[in-house]
């Protein structure tokens, strides 16, 4: 009897240990895809834009709304906006290849363009993670979308054009359900709206769902399109938008944020499953946290205390020391109130007793592309995955004179205005991504580079095509094989590689060839 009891206790302890391990398991980022301002229609093109220091902010396209009816330099003018600046997509937001997804033309015409962007970007993220090489419905894949309203539903339409697909085409809840239905995904499918933190909260929920075993893989991120003038007018009346039309994050001249549009999604798997599947691990989510400001100075006023608590909880979940975090992708909207609060909170948690030899670098994607609102968090995360992989941190645009209210003069904090190298050490690179909603809901994700978290599965090559890790296929040429045995460096030739390509149609195939050719030209040593 005693022996059986001891065996049962050992079994229960082992099960408890497995459960505890599962809820802390690292999550692999195996695929990323995006449509962002400035022609950044892939993570690599986003990196090019940032590394080259290009500014993606422009004036609103003429086909969005008649500017003369809504613009006024007088911020008090009723029904008018004092700025039309924004980070806009360069592609036609109405263009959509419905046939690829088996969607009838009539239904596609009544779909919110945000739904269409999510479908296209979701397909690419799953494909780049190798999750479309088998039938998607053979595993439980969850869909977690951050989305805050729909400008599409604000645009007036003649009553006679309302049809059988109008309701589902406009409903935010269908945005996630449509992806799951179209691709046959059987995990949880839900839409999150916490305002500007929506997409990072969606990623946090996807991480939790994977750890709890609710799904085997997950698609998470967000979308935002600027199609109607009303939100611009409302945000101008709040005084939230920059009258000078730029996000001057960390700068003494910061005067508000610039709106932006786009879409970003990441494909996630448990790290153990990614290793077993030999998936291309791009980075690893070590931990995440979500909280709320509580009773702050106002519903939209950020709380320094809540942000400190958020960082500490995310680090606890990640099992990481504050000094290990070398880079923080901030919320960084470029507001006179928000920037100092965020930087002070981060410095208090991450820089206390921090050695000067390991400074904390602060970055802000919004300075280059604007604030994607509900999709801002995933855009910042995709940028940070690139930073971790490349060991290089882009500079912050429009940073001329640091805001003295940040209080970092005597702290080991770097605010780069040009690209900085981020050398790797034995402990690897660890970064954080913050996203705060004006609803008061905050999110933070802790990431680690794949080379130290999962070295045998570090994804390499063009992420947009789901390439496997690079291999050295160079072979000694002719008699140089002997010189290699003698210790000399031989001349080499590369074996020719056949790359079978397929697409849904001729135009898509040509586009795929163009993208791959562009990547190969930019990476001659690959």
For the segment 308-325, what is each residue's pLDDT rounded down to a tens digit?
Answer: 999 999 999 999 999 999
Task: Single out the residue in 406, 422, 457 at which a domain terminates.
Answer: 457
- Tell whether 11 is covered by a domain: no
pLDDT of residue 461: 43
Q: Using pLDDT thresholds of 50, 70 and 90, give the confidence band for residue 138.
A: low
Q: Tell me what pLDDT residue 243 has.
A: 98
Query: Once rounded to an integer, what is the mean pLDDT over residues 441-469?
Result: 67
Mean pLDDT, residues 145-169? 86
Q: What pLDDT sits at residue 156?
A: 77
Catalytic residue among 71, 115, 152, 331: 331
**149-153, 157-161, 237-241, 296-300: range with highest mean pLDDT:** 237-241
Same domain (yes/no): 114, 219: yes
- Outline where DSSP puts E strands in 164-311: 189-192, 217-224, 262-270, 283-292
User: Who has greater pLDDT, 174 or 162?
Assistant: 174
Q: How many domains in the chain?
A: 2
347 and 484 share a domain?
Answer: no
Which tens digits make up the pLDDT trace of 247-270?
A: 999 999 999 999 999 999 999 999
* Residues 101 and 238 placed together within one structural domain of the fold: yes
Q: Is residue 2 in a domain? A: no
Are 293 and 396 in contact, with CB atoms under 8 Å apart? no
Which of 433, 457, 481 corresponds to the end of one domain? 457
**With 70 as the cut, is the pLDDT of residue 140 above it?**
yes
Q: Is 323 a catalytic residue?
A: no
Same domain as 433, residue 517: no
pLDDT at 12 over 90: no
Residue 205 belongs to some domain of the structure: yes
Domain membership of residue 8 (yes or no) is: no
Q: In which domain, by residue range, is 495 found?
A: 473-522
Assess whether 388 and 256 both reside in one domain.
Answer: yes
pLDDT score of 460: 46
d(CA 163, CA 297): 45
Residues 93 and 52 in one domain: yes
Active-site pick, 34, 196, 236, 263: 196
Torsion of CA 166, 92, 29, 321, to 10 degrees: -100
Same domain, 129 and 195: yes
- Averaged pLDDT, 193-206: 99
Residues 354, 501 within the same domain:
no
Query: Tokens standing for 27?
Result: 């999550």
Estimate to the nearest angstrom the gap between the alpha carbon of 521 and the chain centroid: 26
Residue 39: which CATH number? Answer: 3.40.47.10
Whether residue 445 sits in one domain with residue 478: no
d(CA 193, CA 125): 22
Same domain, residue pair 373 and 497: no
CB atoms within 10 A of CB 122: 29
Confidence of residue 417 (pLDDT cuts 50, 70, 90): very high
Q: pLDDT for 67-121, tens place per residue?
A: 999 999 999 999 999 999 999 999 999 999 888 899 999 999 999 999 999 999 9
Distances (CA, A) of 423 to 353, 429, 433, 454: 22, 8, 19, 18
pTM of the model: 0.88
| In a domain? residue 12 | no
For position 359, what pLDDT does the model report? 97
pLDDT attached to residue 442: 99
152 counts as catalytic: no
**Comparison of pLDDT for 155 and 251, the residue scoring more:** 251
Same domain assignment for residues 489 and 410: no
Please state, for a pLDDT cut of 70, what percent of the chain lies above it: 87
Of residues 371 and 498, the one with the higher pLDDT is 371
Strands, E assignment, 209-336:
217-224, 262-270, 283-292, 325-329
Q: How confident is the model at residue 481 (pLDDT cuts 50, 70, 90)?
A: very low
Token pair listed for 368: 């280059």
* Choice among 71, 115, 152, 371 that is catalytic: 371
Residue 15 lies in a domain: no
- pLDDT exceeding 90 applies to what percent of the chain? 72
pLDDT of residue 456 exceeding 90, the answer is: no
The pLDDT of residue 6 is above 50? yes
In this predicted structure, what is the pLDDT of residue 21?
55
- Average of per-residue pLDDT across 192-220: 98
Domain end residue (candidates: 426, 457, 488): 457
The answer as to whether 6 is a domain residue is: no
Q: Is 196 a catalytic residue?
A: yes
- What mean pLDDT do residues 463-483 have? 41
Concatenating the DSSP letter of every residue in 64-99 gives: TS-HHHHB-S-TTSTT-BS--EEE--SS-TT---GG
310 and 192 fall within a common domain: yes
pLDDT of residue 170 exceeding 90, the answer is: no
Residue 246 has phi, psi (to 5 degrees) of: -145, 145
* pLDDT(483) > 60: no
By mean pLDDT, which of 54-58, 61-65, 188-192, 493-497 is the weakest?
493-497
d(CA 491, CA 74) in angstroms, rounded, equals 68
The answer to whether position 154 is within a domain reads yes
- Average pLDDT across the chain, whole number: 89
């Amino acid at each position: 009897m005693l022996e059986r009891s001891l065996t049962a206790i050992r079994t229960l302890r082992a099960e408890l240990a497995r459960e505890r391990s599962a809820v802390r398991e690292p999550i692999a980022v195996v695929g990323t895809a995006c449509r962002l301002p400035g022609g950044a229609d892939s993570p690599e093109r986003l990196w090019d834009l940032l590394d080259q220091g290009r500014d993606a902010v422009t004036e609103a396209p003429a086909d969005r709304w008649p500017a003369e009816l809504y613009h006024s330099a007088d911020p008090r003018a009723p029904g008018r906006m004092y700025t039309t600046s924004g980070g806009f997509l360069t592609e036609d937001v109405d263009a959509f290849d419905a046939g690829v997804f088996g969607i009838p033309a009539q239904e596609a015409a009544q779909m919110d363009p945000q739904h269409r962007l999510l479908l296209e970007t979701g397909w690419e993220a799953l494909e780049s993670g190798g999750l479309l090489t088998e039938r998607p419905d053979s595993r439980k894949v969850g869909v977690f979308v951050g989305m805050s309203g729909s400008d599409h539903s604000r645009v007036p339409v003649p009553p006679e054009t309302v049809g059988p697909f109008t309701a589902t085409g406009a409903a935010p809840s269908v945005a996630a359900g449509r992806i799951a239905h179209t691709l046959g995904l059987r995990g949880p499918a839900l839409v999150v709206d916490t305002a500007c933190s929506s997409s990072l909260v969606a990623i946090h929920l996807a991480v939790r769902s994977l750890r709890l075993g609710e799904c085997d893989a997950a698609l998470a991120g967000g979308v935002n399109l600027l199609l109607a003038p009303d939100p611009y007018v409302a945000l101008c009346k709040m005084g939230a938008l920059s009258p000078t039309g730029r996000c001057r994050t960390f700068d003494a001249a910061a005067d508000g944020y610039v709106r932006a549009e786009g879409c970003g999604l990441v494909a996630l798997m448990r790290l153990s499953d990614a290793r077993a599947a030999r998936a291309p691990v791009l980075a690893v989510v070590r931990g995440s946290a979500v909280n709320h400001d509580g009773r702050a100075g106002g519903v939209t006023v950020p709380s320094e205390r809540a942000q400190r608590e958020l960082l500490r909880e995310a680090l606890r979940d990640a099992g990481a020391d504050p000094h290990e975090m070398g880079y923080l992708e901030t919320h960084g909207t470029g507001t006179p109130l928000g920037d100092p609060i965020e930087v002070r909170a981060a410095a208090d948690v991450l820089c206390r007793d921090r050695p000067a030899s390991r400074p904390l670098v602060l970055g802000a994607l919004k300075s280059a592309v604007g604030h994607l609102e509900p999709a801002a968090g995933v855009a910042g995360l995709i940028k940070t995955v690139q930073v971790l992989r490349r060991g290089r941190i882009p500079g912050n645009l429009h940073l001329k004179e640091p805001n003295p209210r940040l209080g970092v003069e005597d702290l080991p904090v770097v605010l780069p205005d040009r690209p900085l190298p981020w050398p790797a050490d034995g402990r690897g690179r660890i970064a954080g991504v913050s996203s705060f909603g004006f609803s008061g809901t905050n999110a933070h994700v802790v990431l680690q580079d794949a080379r130290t978290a999962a070295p045998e599965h570090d994804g390499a090559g063009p992420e947009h095509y789901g390439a496997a890790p690079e291999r050295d296929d160079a072979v000694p040429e002719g008699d140089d094989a002997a010189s290699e045995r003698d210790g000399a460096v031989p001349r080499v030739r590369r074996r020719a590689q056949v790359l079978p390509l397929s697409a849904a149609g001729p135009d898509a195939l040509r586009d795929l060839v163009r993208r791959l050719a562009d990547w190969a030209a930019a990476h001659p040593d690959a």
